[in-house]
Amino acid sequence: MSPASRPSSSSVSSSLGYRHRHLLGIEGLSADEIGALLDLSESYVAQSRGDSKKTALMRGLTVINLFFETSTRTRTSFELAGKRQGADVINMSVAWSSIKKGETLIDTAMTLNAMHPDVLIVRHPESGAVKLLSEKVNCAVINAGDGSHEHPTQALLDALTIRRRRGGLKGLAVAICGDILHSRVARSNIHLLTALGAEVRVVAPPTLLPAAIEGLGATPFFNMREALEGCDIVMMLRLQTERMHGSYVPSTREYFHFYGLDREKLAAAKPDALIMHPGPMNRGVEIDSEVADDIDRSLIRAQVEMGVAVRMACLDMLTRDLRHNDTQAGAS
């Protein structure tokens, strides 16, 4: 399959949908821009399910996966996305703990510039670090998660998953449950869902809800059943185990009792409410296995599939000008 056979990816109108050099976060993106990325992602779902998953769209382009925090799922998903687009993909893992200095990050950027990458995919444990890096490099940057700030491709893949199941997001009630305080997934999702007209509720013990969350457009709840009342989508977040021993939450047992998703609490949501989780799951902590594995309700596996498609679309969109210029250069 040639790139030209995918109308949405090669049409000029859709490339007008997203006009940024980088993808650093969902905050500030318009509904149209998000819509353009989701539309483009749809075509890559089809490609990934087809006989030939790989094209030469990004042939000759270099993608570097720069991870300052361990990750298997997201890194693999980006790697696969880059390879299916025909790019050269390189993985760089850097232990952040060994280089906790601001200058080092800039040094890293200088080193990378010398390698002439075309897209840099960055995950970093500190909020704002990806943006800092993006200001110092000469290529497009995709934020693969920065601290507790944003994880835009996760929000996009969540939106794509919902849209494919429900036709759209407008008017849906979505409950995001768990460690909102430390979650970049929650922040990106709140921005995206509110931009597309969904009603967002966040539920957590008060110690895991950030101050002034209403300012982002989400309604806070302390009680899971109240939060789930009439919901269309229940998004569970992972709770780091080190936060469960008396500092933020007294115990795993208490957390599961009040905030773990099980059949009983899910009963408050709409009968056809769907369940999502960004993974990896802590079964028995934030989600009951029975619920996580319910093939009629759980979208957790679909989310992983959509992840690759969304990341292919992001790579396509951010290298479009680059490829366009190259084509012109070649023609002249």
Partner 1 sequence: MGAASKDNGRTAYHNARLLDPASGLDTLGAVLVEGTRIADLGPRLFNGGVPEGIAKIDCAGACLSPGLIDMRVQLREPGEEHKETIKTAGMAAARGGITAMAALPNTEPAVDDVAGVVYIARRAREAKSVKVYTYGAVTRRLAGKEITEIGLLAEFGARGFTDGVKAVADSQVMRRALSYARAHDQVIIQHPEDPALAQGVMNEGAAATRLGLAGIPAAAEAIMVDRDLRLVELTGGRYHAAHVSTGAALEAIRNAKARGLRVTCDTAPHYFTLSEADVGDYRSFAKVSPPLRAEADREAVAQAVADGTVDAVASDHSPHDQESKRLPFAIAEPGIAGLETLLPLTLALVHGKQMSLLDALACLTWRPAEILKLEAGRLAKGAAADLTIFDPDREWRIDPDKFLSKSKNSPFEDYPVRGQALATVVDGRIIYRAEGFGGLLAEGV
Residues near partner 1 (CB under 8 A): 205-207, 222-223, 245-251, 253-254, 257-258
Rg, C-alpha atoms of the chain:
20
- Min CB(239)–partner 1 separation in Å: 14
The nearer residue to partner 1, 98 or 247, going by C-beta atoms, is: 247
The residue among 167 and 206 lying less far from partner 1, judged by its C-beta, is 206
Of 5 and 251, the one with the shorter C-beta distance to partner 1 is 251
Q: How far is the CB of 225 from partner 1 (least distance, A)?
A: 12
* Spatial distance between the Cα atoms of 279 and 288, rounded to a whole number of angstroms: 14
Closest CA to 244 of 199, 296, 284: 284
Least gap, CB of 177 to partner 1 (angstroms): 13
**Least distance in angstroms from the C-beta of 240 to partner 1:** 16
CB 173 within 8 A of CB 199: yes
Shortest approach of partner 1 to residue 162 CB, angstroms? 28
Contacts 24+ apart (CB under 8 A), 298-302: 298/274, 299/161, 299/162, 299/165, 299/274, 299/275, 300/275, 300/276, 302/161, 302/164, 302/165
Cβ distance to partner 1 smaller for residue 208 or 233: 208
Q: Which of 135, 157, 140, 126 minimizes the C-alpha distance to 34?
A: 157
Residues 66, 312, 314, 55, CA torsion sign: positive
Closer residue to partner 1 (CB): 222 or 240: 222
Helices (H), 2-72: 7-10, 12-15, 31-49
DSSP state of 295: T
- Cα distance between residue 252 and residue 246, in whole Å: 10
| 155 or 237: CB nearest partner 1 | 237
Least gap, CB of 246 to partner 1 (angstroms):
2
